[in-house]
Chains A and B, each alone.
Chain A
């Protein structure tokens, strides 16, 4: 269930939209909860040689093969160090295929009011601007709202 295009949903629906928050190398991010299929603890991931750098590998989700995207790499953040805890998988579906977005921590499902929503600041890293649909202010922290479709536009 990929849901309606997120921007439309945001504009068309009432006051708030529900998001799943996650942390990528210390950066708080959010995904529209409707796009999320599953959240998994650390999984065994098979590397895929010659794949784009953002592809961490593939994993087995109840008999389906899921391609894992390393959000740190995708966002141009420093790679995970050997000592750090393994990443969590946030499974999303895109055009009938399952992908797992690797995040360091998964927070909670929260409704975000539209008032707190701001477009990407023009000074934002172009890479980020490309995959984020905006920024949300919440309790003194800034959440980067990721657009699943654009996160997966690799290659």
Chain B
């Protein structure tokens, strides 16, 4: 039998059992709302599923029953025993059809006209007089007068059916019974414990046998060993399933929906192999189906609408699953019409869910969340697919039941994305087992990008081909040059404060000599860093178990587990490590700049800028000057050490062939670059700045250090082009370079948009609110080059003054962390202030990539959230925001 059908039968049978009980409960307590909601959902689910399986007969009956239930739920029809009987009859009919399906694999033929007519009449009857739903039912149907004539008779439930559906059941459900049985997770859990015990015993036996050298035991023990391993694997497997299993039905569902609704829809899935605990999978299956259905039905527009909106005719629904930060993250997104905040507001008001005053107080995001309320639906009309307000509340209930969260983002005209996060506690992950200072740890493989063996002695200068790269140190901070990339490193032993047995002497000397081992290159979001370990063993499937409550505060671990050999091992949390070490803020550069760079005219006498934020700063010497120079590390793509003889000249400018391109080199200094130096041999230190496929090198004398410190920039007495000012780092006065100025020295076109990139959006006026001069210097030219007219102000109050003065803009780009009034308060002020500005797109520039921050930003009224260095994203976001409004359906 079709897998889909088998699943459907299993589910439906369960649903029917629950329905019987619930209906009887409802009959006793007609005002029991939760029961009514439950019944409605169960019937809705049955109806929804059979629609997609092409079970027309079932669907019709279920739909008719749902109509009546819908009236009950709305309260426009009173629940009466007669009504319940009618519903029960519908259920019996459904049961008979399901039995037929089970026996024959197809819907048994039959006519349910009488029943459906009775149900419809009951549903309509409510309008005339809620108390008397039955009489019309008796009149309406013609075909089967004998049975329908006595609707009061309870024994009549099957009346309409026997002649149609009776034959199949005797065939017995056994013939095509599902091939699966359901086992409670508890049983599996117990099995797992027993198997772990077995593994331990096996290991002890093996050890004993080895010690006594009794060869008679060897063969049977080996066999036992294998069987035990297989058994362990098998039991593990019973609990895990790739999420793709839950998706299996969806492509067909989407296809059928597309046909039914006359829409072109493609379903894309990513991460189908992500494994989920079986229990979680079961619970997430229905919500997923609901959401995809919603996306197809409400989200995606008809081809005509899409064309009119300038979108491709074919709509896209994207399903994405991944493990992230100890959670499973599921995204269900579409590029459809998005949710209309206005419509949701109106509906919430109409349904009495909130008062006008309350609504006015709510952020857009809060308003959107109304769709998770029971009975809330924005669909204009009720279709067979969805639109009855069942769905999102079911989804939310199911997700929360397993300790997950659900959230949504939506932009009108551009689509909606739901994000579901489910805790990992139940999941099994594949982990890399590593050792540091004699202790073993597990690192979840999800975050691991690659493993690099790092050599010890010998490396010489630079990593020549074929030799293991060496861990280098800039001051104390270990780094690794990996394929031209400067990778920050974290030593696991140091991080966890593990004593290294026996290496005291070695660590006495320069730490670099002892660095032999492996670097686990790990990626957290956009951040890549390396974890130094001594040894790497193997990967193993592990069951993540939460740590004891008294250890919860140790954020470096996401859990613990028992390995195959019976030993307990801690599971490292790469997120925790990144947070603990500050690696995750390698946009630290952003922080400095965002938090503390200088303002040119920050008011009378105010030259020093606040900055509590610490920033990673690269210190170097250049131009033959003794004064150290500084640049935020986050701005530097790579550090290079180029042999001088490779530097050539082109158009009067030093260049170097770099990764198959010519990279302009700019000497940082007053006297320029002496060509004769090329002949002198030696090497040239270069800071490489990157922008898309272009690169530019800043030639410096010597790299000194990377320090993390708050950056307070003061304008020097003598302003020099190319320098923002000076600061005190490590007790020395240090010049902070103006990166944007130096980039311009490499050629006028540095900030120019690529050919054809920004067609004629010339007129759009952008207001930039940014307290950091450094950033204004970066952003203003970038936006100007893209054809925008940019007005930059240093603070939110200044921006608000512009508003009072009646200045007009098409969009606002604002920093978040600012003195006086931060970006969030600014956004609220703009949104609440009314006038032309209230509806402007607002884009937040931030150094914090944390989704929670992004959410706060959205809640405050920002339209979009963009990382500070991400020029591309900013331009893309502006394009989106300023795109002509899309017609809404």
Q: Is the CB of B192 within 8 A of A63?
A: yes
Interface-centre pick from A60, A63, A67, A152 (highest chain B CB count, 10 A) = A63
Q: Interface digits, A43-85 against B, CB 8 Å rule (1 contact, 0 not)? A: 0101111111001011110111101000000000000000000
Q: Which residues of B contact A52 (CB under 8 A)?
A: 550
A97 at the interface (CB under 8 A from B): yes
Pick from B193, B197, B545, B551: contact of A48, CB under 8 Å: B551
Identify the closest chain B residue to A99 (Cβ): B548
**Cα-based distance from A44 to B568 in the complex (angstroms):** 9
Q: Is the CB of B439 within 8 A of A47?
A: yes
Pick from A55, A63, A154: contact of B562, CB under 8 Å: A63
Q: Is the CB of B549 within 8 A of A58?
A: no
Q: Which residues of A contact B497 (CB under 8 A)?
A: 49-50
**Cα-based distance from A52 to B548 in the complex (angstroms):** 12
Q: Which residues of A contact B192 (CB under 8 A)?
A: 63
Given A51-B554, A58-B560, A58-B568, is A63 in contact with B196 using a C-beta cutoff of 8 Å? yes
Q: Which residues of A contact B570 (CB under 8 A)?
A: 46, 48-49, 58
Interface-centre pick from B497, B548, B557, B561 (highest chain A CB count, 10 A) = B548
B553 at the interface (CB under 8 A from A): yes
Q: How far in angstroms is the closest Cβ of chain A from B144?
A: 59
Given A49-B498, A55-B550, A67-B551, is A44 in contact with B556 using a C-beta cutoff of 8 Å? no
A95 at the interface (CB under 8 A from B): yes
Q: Which residues of A contact B549 (CB under 8 A)?
A: 95, 97
Pick from B550, B556, B568: contact of A65, CB under 8 Å: B568
A155 at the interface (CB under 8 A from B): yes
Q: How far in angstroms is the closest Cβ of chain B from A134?
A: 25
Identify the closest chain B residue to A152 (Cβ): B550
Given A60-B562, A67-B548, is A49 in contact with B193 using a C-beta cutoff of 8 Å? no
Q: Interface digits, B485-509 against A, CB 8 Å rule (1 contact, 0 not)? A: 0000000000011100000000000
Q: Is the CB of A49 within 8 A of B439?
A: yes
Interface-centre pick from A44, A65, A97, A155 (highest chain B CB count, 10 A) = A65
**Cα-based distance from A57 to B567 in the complex (angstroms):** 12
Determine chain A's interface SS by DSSP, over half rule: loop
**Cα-based distance from A42 to B741 in the complex (angstroms):** 68
In this complex, how many residues of chain A approach chain B with their Cβ under 8 Å: the count is 24
**Cα-based distance from A69 to B200 in the complex (angstroms):** 23
B566 at the interface (CB under 8 A from A): yes
Given A58-B568, A60-B200, A65-B568, is A50 in contact with B554 using a C-beta cutoff of 8 Å? yes
B531-557 interface (Cβ within 8 A of A): 545, 547-551, 553-554, 556-557
Q: Which residues of B contact A48 (CB under 8 A)?
A: 551, 554, 557, 570
Q: Which residues of A contact B753 (CB under 8 A)?
A: none
Given A46-B569, A46-B570, A49-B439, is A64 in contact with B550 using a C-beta cutoff of 8 Å? no
Identify the closest chain A residue to B545 (Cβ): A65
Given A49-B439, A50-B497, A51-B551, is A63 in contact with B193 using a C-beta cutoff of 8 Å? yes
Q: Is the CB of A62 within 8 A of B193?
A: yes
Given A47-B439, A49-B556, is A62 in contact with B197 using a C-beta cutoff of 8 Å? yes
**Cα-based distance from A143 to B547 in the complex (angstroms):** 33
**Cα-based distance from A52 to B498 in the complex (angstroms):** 14
**Cα-based distance from A138 to B557 in the complex (angstroms):** 45
Q: Is the CB of A154 within 8 A of B550?
A: yes
B interface, CB within 8 angstroms of A: 192-197, 200, 439-440, 496-498, 545, 547-551, 553-554, 556-557, 560-562, 566-570
Please list 29 pairs of residues, one from A and one from B, whose beta carbons are closer than 8 Å in the complex, sorted by A's number.
Answer: A44-B567, A46-B440, A46-B570, A48-B551, A49-B496, A50-B496, A55-B550, A58-B548, A58-B560, A59-B568, A60-B566, A60-B568, A63-B193, A63-B195, A63-B196, A63-B197, A63-B562, A65-B545, A65-B548, A65-B560, A65-B561, A65-B562, A67-B548, A67-B550, A95-B549, A97-B549, A152-B550, A155-B550, A155-B553
Known: A63-B193, A63-B197. 20 other contacts (CB 8 A): A46-B568, A48-B557, A48-B570, A49-B554, A51-B554, A52-B550, A55-B550, A55-B551, A57-B568, A58-B548, A59-B568, A60-B566, A60-B567, A62-B196, A62-B197, A65-B561, A65-B568, A67-B547, A95-B549, A97-B549
